[in-house]
């Protein structure tokens, strides 16, 4: 018989990932769009992590690859948070604080551990308004929605007894 808690876990992961992915792709489309960057280049820049500079000349195909990678990454982050919250009830109890903290954690991992090991161009770390936007987006548009989706849709934390 399937675990009755598996459906809410899956819903929390999918909703959290979907909302985070949508907000996190719209942010750079608007932010960099105001700086003259074409919207298609945003998902292409994600695909460039795998394909390198060739992603920018791949048209719609590489943009779709970038969107798929973006959604996959959001699913990974949402899954990690929802599963961790099953073991650490404080993540659910303090959803806003834990979501903001998780977003900051995601920023550090992505910008200092993941992106430097990809083919993303340029290799330098963002500064000024780009840095501020990157941090704010990760905290408020990724970490917080994942945490709030978990609080709203996920099952209560597991209680372990001896």
Token pair 């929390």 in the structure block, residue: 12
Confirm whether 14 is domain-assigned: yes
Output DSSP code: residue 39: T
**Distance between CA atoms of 4 and 1, rounded to whole angstroms?**
9
Structural domain includes residue 161: no
| Residue 80: inside a domain | yes
Task: Quote the number of domains for the chain.
Answer: 1
Is the residue at 128 inside a domain?
A: yes
Report which DSSP code applies to 160: -
Residue 142: give the domain boundaries.
6-35+74-153
90: in domain: yes
- Rounded to whole angstroms, what are the CA distances from 69 to 44, 49, 65, 159? 10, 9, 6, 35
What integer pLDDT is reported at residue 91 of this predicted model?
95
Backbone angles phi, psi at 7, to 5 degrees: -65, -50
Average pLDDT estimate for 101-121: 91
pLDDT over threshold 70, residue 35: yes
Q: For the whole model, what pTM was predicted?
A: 0.90
Residue 1 has pLDDT above 50, yes or no: no
Summarised one tens digit per residue, pLDDT across range 58-97 is: 999 999 999 999 999 999 999 999 999 999 999 999 999 9
């Amino acid at each position: 018989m399937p675990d009755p808690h598996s459906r809410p876990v899956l819903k929390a992961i999918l909703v959290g990932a979907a909302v985070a992915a949508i907000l996190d792709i719209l942010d750079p489309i608007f932010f960099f769009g105001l700086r003259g960057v074409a919207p298609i280049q945003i998902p292409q820049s994600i695909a460039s992590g795998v394909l390198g500079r060739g992603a920018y000349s791949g048209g719609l195909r590489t943009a779709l690859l970038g969107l798929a990678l973006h959604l996959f990454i959001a699913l990974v982050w949402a899954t990690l948070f929802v599963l961790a919250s099953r073991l650490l009830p404080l993540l659910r109890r303090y959803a806003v604080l834990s979501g903001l903290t998780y977003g900051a954690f995601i920023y550090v991992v992505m910008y200092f551990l993941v992106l430097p090991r990809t083919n993303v161009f340029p290799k330098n770390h963002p500064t000024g308004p780009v840095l501020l936007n990157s941090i704010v987006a990760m905290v408020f548009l990724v970490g917080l929605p994942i945490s709030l989706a978990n609080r709203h849709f996920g099952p209560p934390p597991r209680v372990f007894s001896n």
